[in-house]
Each structure stands twice: as structure tokens, then as C-alpha cells.
Structure 1
Amino acid sequence: MSAVAGFNISAKRMDLFFSVTVVSFLLFLSLLTSTASAQTPEQRVNLDVTSVTLHPGSAWITRTGTLSFPAGRSLLVIEGLSISADLSQFEFLAADNSIEMLGLQMQPRSTTTPEEDELIAQSQEIQYRISTLNDEIETAESELDLLQSLALTESGLSPAVDGETLSNLVEVMSTRSNSARQRIRDARIELQELRQQENQINAELSKPLHRGVTYADLRIELVSETQTSSPVTLSYHNDNAFWRWMYDARLDTSAKQLDFTRKAEVSQSTGEDWDDVNLTLSTARFSNRSAAPHLSAQFVNLGQVRRQASSGIQEVVVTGSLVRSASGQVSESPPAVEIRNTNFQLQYQLAGQQSVPSTSGEPFTVIPIDNRELPVNLVSRAVPVHDLNAYLEARFELDGEEPFFNGVLYTYRDGAFIGRGSFAETLPGETTRISFGQDQRIQVRRFDEQQNSRDTGIFSRSNLQEERIRYEVTNRHSDTISVELLDQVPVAQHADINVSIPRGATEATEDNAGGLAGVLLWRMEIDPQETSTVRHYYDLSHPEGEAIHFSR
């Protein structure tokens, strides 16, 4: 018994010792963890967007600020970044070189914008007011029910009530009844207006811009040799932004002067408003290719029998930037490197501070770039095979070293809006042509003089087709006008087909105009009320019995 009892006491002491040891160990771990946490202080900050470089299809966003750093390790949490920020391309710099970045992590979080908070608050106020009005209507209706029951029930009046008292009571009941009905009408009118407002707010909240925009916190682990204060810069890439050129071309036909304005149309839906930032517009694009494609040698041989498919075909599996075959051989494929295309590296640093809000719709921010007055040559151009109208063009040579890029073009002629079109990229030294609509004072008429098809030849018979078209171009302006007329002749693609220009045809100013085979251009200066004639003749022969067809 004593031995057993002694064993039990020893066991209890061992349990107690074990419990104390475990508790002490847990306390030690807790102390160690808290000590470690204390050694890694956390600093939560908001860095303002101060500058943006906007590319045709993306943006390079920079945030700056001045922060204090403790000695040793610390955790910097930059709040409110857009979830669409591309941190595969980012840069974090501290002016103090003793601060070193050890690692980073993005932590998404859902929140609402200030605009959405305001809309939600308005919705809550409207709902409270609707509830109040419903109570008022219910109270007024109960009051009407009570008044009606008093009026219809004789027991509601005392037999001792005299005529004057009864008259006063009826007047009070009538006044109270009319007041209750008026309160009900007013409340229902207000309810209708409030429900319309509530529907508008709900529609606004349902837009993509107000669907719980998701932001992210950037957690950066840092180490500093000493306690210090330093300016910091965080830059990162975002694809949800772009800009494009927009041009206004205003032609003064009397002065032959073109007022040419360049603008930038900017849009961004990054989820971050750019307020009072330094904005730079860059023509450089991010591209997946940095060099021309590579060509390898190609061989051809005779006499070799094609191998059987079972031994010659390999299964190919694409993994990352490697092409791996089933046989285990590995060969490199061209790496996908994202670089800046430096074909035309032009940057436009806009003066002053610019603000571009984040939106989910069409581009709406337009920023003027520059304006210039350009002397132009005016030419009326007609292609009567498709359209008998002539179209006025203003032409000028682009000087300087800066190209004009593709963009949206708005044209105005003598103060009248002509239309919206596109502007083609033009390099320095090239002639720019801008169309300004129909020239209604240039008259183009087409006449078919003769169209024959007959057999020719003695020993080798062939079919000959003769095309004879006459164009008459009349100038109804009060000034001499430059006119260009274009048409074409077929281009033979077979040795047995012959196309020739006969005598009597008007010689073209340019053959193969614009580098297009068979396109003829006649250029003429036509005085006021004068008519110029162009005879467009050609003969086409081909072997008899052979069908021909035309293609483009």
C-alpha cells in the first residue's frame, strides 16, 4: 500500500513538473514571439501619387514621401494601392543608401471610395425618410378612420350636446379630416420622389466604378543601419491607362492656311485618382519583342524516304520559356521579354500640375499639346470610276524632326465642321494630306465614247476589247484650282494578255501613282469657268476562246 501510495505521489509530482515545464515553455515562446514582434516595428503610410508617365497602353506611376526608419528591421505598409498595380515591374528607392529592402508582399483588401460612401449615406437617409413618411401616412389614416367612426356612430355623441356644440364638433372633425388627407397626399408625393432618388443611387452604385473597389496594401520588409529619415520613391506599372493623339484641323480656304492643333486624349481606370501630378506623355510602348525574328538555315534534299510516323513524331510540351520533347531533349524558345519600344522615343512633359480621375467609361480628359499655323496647297481630287464628286485636300510638308502619330482627326473648313476621321502617321519630310469634304464647285462628268469587242489577227486569232472613256472637269470657282483625276488600266498577269494605250489617249501625269500598278493620275490647273478633258483609253487583247477575269 505504501509503495503504491508513494508511486502515486511521485506520479502527481511528475505531472505537476511536466505541466509547469510546458507552461514555462509556452510562456517562453510567447515572450520570444512578442520580443520578435517588438523588434520588427510596423509603419503604415499613404504615399501620394506625384508623377505619372503615360504610355499609349499603360502607365508608370510614381508615389513619393519622406519617412522615418528605426535602426534594424522594420515593416513598411503602404496603403491604398490599386489591386491592378503590376508589381512584377516596380521600383522602391530610398535616398538613404543604408536602407535595404529585404522582401515585399501584396495584401488585397476591399473598401469603398469616398464617392461610394457618400452615395451609401444618401441612400440610408432616404430609407429613413421613407420609413418616417410611411409612419405618418399610417397615423393619418388611423385618424381618418377614427373621425369617420365618430361621424357614423350616434353613440359617439352625448344626448346633452346642444346644436352649437355639435356644429363646432362637426367643423373640427371636418378640419382634422381635411388635414389628415392633405398630409397623406403630401407624404405620397414625397415618397414617389424619394423612391426615384433611391433608384438613381442604386443604379449609380451598380456601376463598375462603385462595386466595392478592391485595393491592396504593399508590405515591404526593410533593414536600416541606423535610425534615419529619408525620402522614398515607389514606382510601378499599370495597364489600365492609355492616351492617344487627337487633332483639330481648321482650314481657311481663302488664306490657304491651316490651323493645326494637337491634343492628348487621356483615360485611366486604375482605381487611383491622379490629383495634381506631374504628367508626362510618352510615345514609347511596352513590347514583348526586342529584336527582329531569327531565321535559321533551311535545307532541301532528294532521295530520302520519309520516316514512319511512329518513330519520327515527338510529343512536344511547352513549359515556360522552354520546349521540352518526350525524348528528354530541351531547347530554348525565344524569351518573352517586356521592354520599351524605342522606335520613336518622344516624351511630352506637360507644364503645371495635371489631374486625371479614375473612370470606367470612355476617355474624357483632353489636354492641349501645341498649335501651329501651316501654309498649305489646296487640291481637288476625284476618282470618277467610283464617285463623280471631287474632294478638297490640304497638303503640307512636315518639317522638323518630330513625327506626327496616328490619331483621331476633327476637320473644319471655313468655320464649318466637316467630320471626324483618322490621321495617318507621318514622318518628317513627308507630305501630309488632309481631306476637307466635297468640293461642290468642281464638276466631273463621264462619257462612254466607244466600247468595242472584236476579233483580230490572221494566223493567231485574239479577242480585242477597246475601252474609250472621256472625262470633262469644270471649275466653277472664281480662282484657278489644282485638280487631280485618277483612274486605272488592267495589269496583265499572263503573257498572252496584252494591255496598251492607243493614240488619242490623254497622257497621264503619273503612271503607277502612289506605287499602285495600273493606277493613272492626271494633274491639271483649271481656270475659272474652264473645262479640262481627259481621254482615258486602253486596249485589252487575249486569245480567242479564253475567258478572262478581273481581280484586285
Structure 2
Amino acid sequence: MFRLTLALALACSSICWSWAPIAHASSAVEGRVTEVTLYRGQAQITRTVPIDGAAGRREVVVSNLPEQIVPNSLFAEGGDAVEIRAVRFRTRAVGEEPREEVRKLDDEILAAQQELDLTTKRQALLVKRTEYLAKLEGFIAPTAQSDLTKGVLDAEALERLTTFDFAQHETIATEEVELAKQARTINERLELLNRKRAEITAGASQTIREAVLFVQKQAEAPTEIRLSYLVSNCGWSPSYAMRAAADGKHVRVEYNALIQQLSGEDWNDVDLTLSTASPALSAAGPGLAPLHVMLASDARDQDPFGAQVAANGPSDAAQQAPQQTEVYFGRGLSKSQVLGKLEGLQSQKLEYSNAVGNAGNFVDVNRFSWNLNDVASNYQQLELNGDATTLSVLRSEANGDSDGPSLSYRLGSGVSLASRTDQQMVRIMQTNMESQFYHVAVPVLTSYVYREAELKNTSDEDLLAGPMTAYLDGRFVGKGELPTVARGQKFVVGFGANPQLRARRELVDKSDSVQGGNRETRFEYRLVVENFSDQPTPIRVIDRLPHAEHGADIRITLGETSDKVSEDALYVREERPMGLLRWDVEAPADAAGEAARLITYKYAVEYDRKFVVSAPSSKETLQEEFERLQRDRQKR
């Protein structure tokens, strides 16, 4: 199997093309698109090109390549029956012979242009007539004044001249209006004719993209080659539909792909593969460089941004500090500053990683590999110099799914996708997953009680993060987001609010007391869940205690509870230490009013009586913590 990239082909083309005359003239073929691997922003297309005729050397031109082709991605493969000697990409301009309807339009345009020219000349003639009358008036008036002074004025002749003058002005004005109207009409007709001609001749002159292959056919039997290339302006994203029956025993998961296809060629009856990887032209991965370090004085007191001061002395430090401001950035930074730096590093990492994959030669691969090493060195310096805040951010970001897994879904043959602006949807997978339905009540936030289902991905595919629509018993209940779910992993899907359930939170009692220098405040709360249906319903009731950032300053103690707090392992590990309370209870059928399901609990807060309890002034870190908890709740 032979595989030549365009760069290699161009390097040896001068040898391959000149070593001997071509035995057979070039033949133009299109081939057929048989395989498509669709990435997030590009696609790799494979055309099967038939090669017929006698054995020997020949030039094969594969025509009508798409507009969005990436030229340096072109390569060809041949089997034992045909050897690929060179591949190159070319463009050329072509045009069509004028058609009869175009000729007729050209004749009409010419006639209209001649009419417009005649009208323009007539308008110019009217201007000259007006100028002549002005000169005539300049002659008549002085002459009449002179004749009147001498007593020889011919009144009858003066009257005829005056009448003639005014009549001519009136005629000129009428003709000017008529000619201006004719000019507007002709211009409108010309514009319409030109527009029609442009519509008919659109695409008559165009650029053709072709692949020129120089091949050695080994035998006379028909054979074929595979021509592959990348195209841009296409991609896909996941989309889900979750359909649950009224009994809640199963959820049918429909995994779809929304496809954007504007490559410039249609894909008809192809073997389609969807991939989350990045297409790569380079076979070699990036190389790892040693991480060199040195000691430098800690000059954070002088440099609020944490600039490094060189160890060689103040003069060197003054010269190096501006360039080394970003070197020593592990300590004294807020969480938002660390996140900002990480975001920049991750963006550079993605850019250089893609560049390595698309590099076509040894020099470029090494250059982009060095850039990747430089980014990694900055990241490792965060680890080396980082204080507690920095390391906390690094740990939380390391557990994220920002890059996501590299997955491929082979949909098989028979998929057709036209090149068009509308999004097109294809089905990746459809399967039933066993589900455990329950309800979630958070009365401190809302009186509504929401349905949730815990599912386990029992399919043969990983599920990518993406939007979803939820249906219950055939009815649309809402939209949401699905996280990335591995095979065998559990996840949670919401199915909207249940109108037959209500929840509320009531403060039953509050008491204050002072013991020595401390104030102690005791609270008693009642959580009320009403079930208006005729079926008992499992509900997770969630509330919260205040969570003290510094336990030595504020002591918060949970007292008596009417129901046992949940022992769910994930809840106990992740949420209970943050002061969140959860009870897994069942609301009886028709439990409303006096029969409502009640949960009561007490807690106490003790602190120095000289202070009051206050919320933190900065909400940014707290919001990030909340978002992390929400992501964890979606995946079990």
C-alpha cells in the first residue's frame, strides 16, 4: 500500500514526471465519494477512482474537487495492481460557450444602450438650443432699446421675436421632461437585462479544482485507487432525546448527530464515521524536552504581580524582570487569576497540539513541539511554586472534562448528506436503559418538585456532552444538558416538574441565649411535602445548614431530625461536609393539608457575641464551587 502526501509528491515530482514519456494520455474522471470521516470542524473524504485500460504509466486527472478542500491534505493510495508515483493539486479557470438566450440578451442590451445614447445626445442638443435663445435675447433687448430711442422701433417684429422666444422655451421644457422620462425607462430596462444576464451566466466562468495523479498500472485488469483529502466548513455536534414511559421503568435514549455540511460537494450513499478527534497529517507525535529550573529570589514584596528577580544581582534583575513577569506566578494569586492563566495555557496547548498534528515536515513538527513544551513548562511551574489557592484550582481543573474523550461512531454505509446551509440530523444510536425515577424537592428555593431519573449507560458507546430534549409519556417536558458519560457510568436526567407535588419550608422556632462571651442561636424548621396523586412517591428533600469557612470562629451543630439524613455514599462524601442536608423519604398517596409528609430538624449556631453572622463578600469562588457540585450531581 502506497501513501504519498502532497509535500513528498511535490518534492519528487520533477524526477517522476521526467524520467520517461507517459505511455497513455491523461484521462479525466471524478470517481465516487465512498467514505467520510466527519470531525468537529473538518471531514476526511475518500473517493474511489477507477483505473481502466492497458498496463503502463499514465496521468489521471480527478476533477470537480470541492470548493472547501484543504490542498496540502491530498494523498492517494493504490494496491498491488497500481503504484502511485506522484500526486499534485491544481486549479484552473474554465468558461462556457455563450448560449442563444445570452446572445439575445446581449442584442437587447446593445439596442437599449443605443437608445440611451440617442436620448443623451438629444438632451445635449436641448442645452445648446437653450444657450442659443439666451444669446438671441441678449441681442433683441439692446436693439429694441436703441430703436425705441431713435423712434424707429418695429413693434410687430419685436412681438414676433418675443412670441418665438417664449414658444421655444416652452417646447424645450416639454422635450426635456420627455427625454428625462425616456432615459429613466431605458436605464431601468438596461438594469433588468443586465440582471437577467448575470443570473443566466452565473457560474459560467469558474475555478475547477483537480488532483493530478501519475500512476504505474501493473496489469490490464481494471483496478481502482483511493484519493483522500480534508474539507473544511463542516462538522457535527451531539443531540439527545430522552423518552420515558409513565411507569418509569425504562428510558429510551436517542443519540443523534446534528451535521453542518457546506463543503461544496454532496455525500451520497457514503460510509460515514463521526469522530471527536482532530485530523492529523503528521505521523509523529510531539517530543518531550527536559524541564530546566534554577533558583531565583522571591521579589513578590517589590512586584505585586509576582515577577521573578534573577539571582545574578540587581542589575540583571532590572533587565530581566519585564520579560520574566509571567515566570514566577504560582503564589499570591486569586482563584480568578489562576483560572485566567490556566485558560490561556489551555488555549495555547490546543493551538500548538493541532499545529503539530497538521505539520507536514520535520522542522515544523519540532517547532510546534517546542511551543507545546514551553506551555507545559509554565503549567508545571504553577505546580512547583503554587500555594494552596493555586493547587486547589489545579486539582479541580484536572478533574474536568474540558477536552472530552476522543471517540468515533461508525454509522455504516448508505448515509447521504447534501452540501447545504440547513443542519441535517442522523441517528447514531437508539437504546433502552433501565431507570430509577424519583423526585427532588428543594423548598428553600422553590415550591415545585422535579422529576429525575438515574440511568446507567448500558450501551456500547460513550455519550458525549450535548443538549437534550426530554419526553414523558409522549409529552415534551423540557430541555437540558447531558454530561459526557462513559460506558457503564451512571448519570441523572431531569424530566420536569410534577404538578401533583408541592413543597415548602417553615421556620418553627428561633431562640437566642448568651453564655459567657458567646452567643448561641437555636433554630427549628419544618419541611412540608404535599402529594395530591393517588400513588406513593419517593422524594429526595434537600435543605441546608450554614457552612462556616472557619470552624473555629463559628460552630454549627445539627440537632434532632425527625427522619434520618441520607446515607448515599456520594452525598456523604461530597455534599454533607458543605452543610447540605438530604432526606430520602416517601410521600404517601393523597398526602395533603393535615396529612402532608413532614420533616423537622433543629440546629444551633454559636459564635463570639461581639460579631454577627455575615455572608462572604466575594461570590466568584462560591459560584465556581456550586457549578462543580452541579456537574457532580449529574454523574453518579
Same fold, TM-score > 0.5, yes or no: yes
Counterpart in the other structure of 1:472: 528
Counterpart in the other structure of 1:527: 588
1:487-542: CA deviation from partner (whole Å, max 9, x where unpaired):
22233222322221123565421487382332221111122023222224333333
**Contact residue 480 and residue 527 of structure 1 kept, 8 A:** yes
Counterpart in the other structure of 2:372: 334
2:427 is aligned with 1:427: no
Which residue identity does 2:470 align to in structure 1? Answer: T
In structure 1, C-alpha distance between the alignment counterparts of 2:201 and 2:493, rounded to whole Å: 44
1:205-254: CA deviation from partner (whole Å, max 9, x where unpaired):
99xxx999865222334456788853111011223222233322222123
Pick aligned residue for 1:296 from 291, 294, 313? 291
Question: Any residues of structure 2 matched to 1:166-181 within 5 Å, and which?
Answer: none
Pick aligned residue for 2:240 from 241, 244, 247? 247
In structure 1, C-alpha distance between the alignment counterparts of 2:206 and 2:510, rounded to whole Å: 71
Give the 3 Å change call, closer, same or farther, for CA 379–64 of structure 1 in structure 2: same
Shift of 1:290: 6.5
2:531 is aligned with 1:538: no
In structure 1, C-alpha distance between the alignment counterparts of 2:438 and 2:290, rounded to whole Å: 46
Which residue identity does 2:44 align to in structure 1? Answer: W
Question: Any residues of structure 2 matched to 1:460-499 within 5 Å, and which?
Answer: 461-494=517-550, 495-499=552-556
Give the 3 Å change call, closer, same or farther, for CA 256–126 of structure 1 in structure 2: farther
Which residue identity does 2:537 align to in structure 1? Answer: I
Give the 3 Å change call, closer, same or farther, for CA 321–353 of structure 1 in structure 2: closer
In structure 2, C-alpha distance between the alignment counterparts of 1:269 and 1:301, rounded to whole Å: 54
Question: Any residues of structure 2 matched to 1:388-399 within 5 Å, and which?
Answer: 388-399=447-458
Give the 3 Å change call, closer, same or farther, for CA 409–314 of structure 1 in structure 2: closer
Q: Work out the number of aligned pairs and report it.
A: 432
Which residue identity does 1:236 align to in structure 2? Answer: Y
**Contact residue 444 and residue 504 of structure 2 kept, 8 A:** no
**Contact residue 107 and residue 219 of structure 1 kept, 8 A:** no
**Contact residue 109 and residue 217 of structure 1 kept, 8 A:** no
Q: Kindly report the root-mean-square deviation, in angstroms, between the aligned alpha carbons of the 2 structures.
A: 4.9
Shift of 1:97: 5.5
Question: Any residues of structure 2 matched to 1:12-31 within 5 Å, and which?
Answer: none
Shift of 1:478: 1.2
SS in 1 for 2:263: coil
Shift of 1:431: 2.3
Give the 3 Å change call, closer, same or farther, for CA 342–376 of structure 1 in structure 2: closer
In structure 2, C-alpha distance between the alignment counterparts of 1:104 and 1:42, rounded to whole Å: 14
Which residue identity does 1:91 align to in structure 2? Answer: F
In structure 2, C-alpha distance between the alignment counterparts of 1:295 and 1:464, rounded to whole Å: 58
In structure 1, C-alpha distance between the alignment counterparts of 2:501 and 2:588, rounded to whole Å: 11
Give the 3 Å change call, closer, same or farther, for CA 125–546 of structure 1 in structure 2: farther
Which structure has the highest helix share of the two? 2
2:425 is aligned with 1:354: no
Shift of 1:402: 2.8
1:316-373: CA deviation from partner (whole Å, max 9, x where unpaired):
9x9966779xxxxxx944389xxxx9955443233x52210011x341x222344333
Counterpart in the other structure of 1:79: 63
Give the 3 Å change call, closer, same or farther, for CA 98–437 of structure 1 in structure 2: closer
Shift of 1:391: 0.7
In structure 1, C-alpha distance between the alignment counterparts of 2:102 and 2:501, rounded to whole Å: 67
In structure 2, C-alpha distance between the alignment counterparts of 1:385 and 1:126, rounded to whole Å: 79
1:452-506: CA deviation from partner (whole Å, max 9, x where unpaired):
5x46331xx2344444332101221211111011122233222322221123565
Give the 3 Å change call, closer, same or farther, for CA 437–314 of structure 1 in structure 2: closer
How high is the TM-score relative to the length of structure 2?
A: 0.56
Q: Which deviates more, 506-515 or 249-258?
A: 506-515
Which residue identity does 2:372 align to in structure 1? Answer: P
For structure 1, the residue ranges without an aligned partner over 5 or more in a row are 1-33, 113-119, 135-190, 325-330
1:46-94: CA deviation from partner (whole Å, max 9, x where unpaired):
1221221223433221101212477776443221112322243343012
How high is the TM-score relative to the length of structure 1?
A: 0.64
Counterpart in the other structure of 1:368: 427
In structure 1, C-alpha distance between the alignment counterparts of 2:318 and 2:221, rounded to whole Å: 70
Which residue identity does 2:580 align to in structure 1? Answer: V
Question: Any residues of structure 2 matched to 1:94-493 within 5 Å, and which?
Answer: 94-96=78-80, 99-107=83-91, 109=93, 215-222=208-215, 230-254=223-247, 256-286=249-279, 296=291, 300=295, 304=311, 306-307=313-314, 308-309=316-317, 312=320, 332-334=370-372, 343-350=405-412, 352-359=413-420, 361-363=421-423, 365-452=424-511, 454=512, 456-458=514-516, 461-493=517-549
Which structure has the highest strand share of the two? 1
SS in 1 for 2:505: strand
Give the 3 Å change call, closer, same or farther, for CA 219–406 of structure 1 in structure 2: same
In structure 1, C-alpha distance between the alignment counterparts of 2:547 and 2:204, rounded to whole Å: 61
Counterpart in the other structure of 2:332: none
In structure 1, C-alpha distance between the alignment counterparts of 2:479 and 2:566, rounded to whole Å: 32
Give the 3 Å change call, closer, same or farther, for CA 244–103 of structure 1 in structure 2: closer
1:287-333: CA deviation from partner (whole Å, max 9, x where unpaired):
899789989365656695644246647989x9966779xxxxxx944
Identity of aligned residues (%): 20
In structure 2, C-alpha distance between the alignment counterparts of 1:518 and 1:292, rounded to whole Å: 47
Which residue identity does 1:101 align to in structure 2? Answer: R
In structure 2, C-alpha distance between the alignment counterparts of 1:528 and 1:205, rounded to whole Å: 74
In structure 2, C-alpha distance between the alignment counterparts of 1:462 and 1:385, rounded to whole Å: 28
SS in 2 for 1:426: coil
Shift of 1:110: 7.7
Shift of 1:104: 1.5
**Contact residue 41 and residue 75 of structure 1 kept, 8 A:** yes
In structure 2, C-alpha distance between the alignment counterparts of 1:322 and 1:98, rounded to whole Å: 34
**Contact residue 455 and residue 544 of structure 1 kept, 8 A:** no
**Contact residue 410 and residue 419 of structure 1 kept, 8 A:** yes
1:359-410: CA deviation from partner (whole Å, max 9, x where unpaired):
1x341x2223443334422211122222210011222222254322223322
**Contact residue 82 and residue 215 of structure 2 kept, 8 A:** no
Pick aligned residue for 2:615 from 546, 549, 552? 549
SS in 2 for 1:334: helix
SS in 1 for 2:553: coil
